[in-house]
Amino acid sequence: MQTQESTQHIYAKYPKGQASCLIDMLQEVQEHFGYLPDIEMQKVARHVEIPVSRVYGVATFYNQFRFQPLGKYVVKVCRGTACHVKGSLDILRTLENELGIKAGQTTKDLAFTIETVACIGACSIAPVIAVNEEFHGGLTTKSLVKLLSMYKKKANAAEVEHELV
């Protein structure tokens, strides 16, 4: 994931005025930044020669596209039937309260993003969350708070290390 680097190499791959390239371009821009910044959405629109509103229309239609950067730790909360029955709503609410954000949001320090998913596929260890694809099952609200504390410490340590560099 890049932030300030030029995206000219992306646009150079695609012929100007070819709206058929729109989705491929959006995917590459998102891969470059980790999300679709507004300024890049405008550049894409100019390149493919369609209104910005159409670019946004396409990007909002597909749930693969994001308009905000993801946190360092993406926490996916399973809301499938087995997890729901075993208390995943309490897990989600605790997570939201501990982080001060709602599902679909990212903390201001870009440390955490909460997402809900229909099923993680780990019903035998319900309720379960995945933090950057690392599964944590059999959770209680108490064990979640401990787990979250560990990730918060990691995030803070990484932030301190980054400031020292």
Closest C-alpha to 68, from 97, 100, 101, 45: 101
**What pLDDT, in 10s, does the model give residues 126-161?**
999 999 989 999 999 999 999 999 999 998 886 665
Residues facing 134 on adjacent strands: 131
What's the pLDDT band for 3 if we cut at 50, 70, 90?
very low
DSSP state of 21: G
Q: For residues 159 and 118, give the distance between their C-alpha atoms in angstroms, rounded to a whole number.
A: 32
**Cβ contact 33:1 at 8 Å:** yes
CA 115: distance to chain centroid?
7
Q: Residue 157's pLDDT is what?
A: 80
Residue at 3 is within a domain: no
For residue 17, give its domain range: 8-61
**Cβ contact 51:19 at 8 Å:** no
Q: For residues 78 and 119, give the distance between their C-alpha atoms in angstroms, rounded to a whole number.
A: 5
Same domain, 50 and 123: no
Q: Residue 162's pLDDT is what?
A: 52
Closest C-alpha to 117, from 105, 138, 103, 107: 103
CATH assignment of the domain containing 127: 3.40.30.10
Same domain, 94 and 34: no
Same domain, 120 and 90: yes
Residue at 135 is within a domain: yes
Same domain, 55 and 77: no
Same domain, 144 and 89: yes
Number of domains in the chain: 2
pTM: 0.76
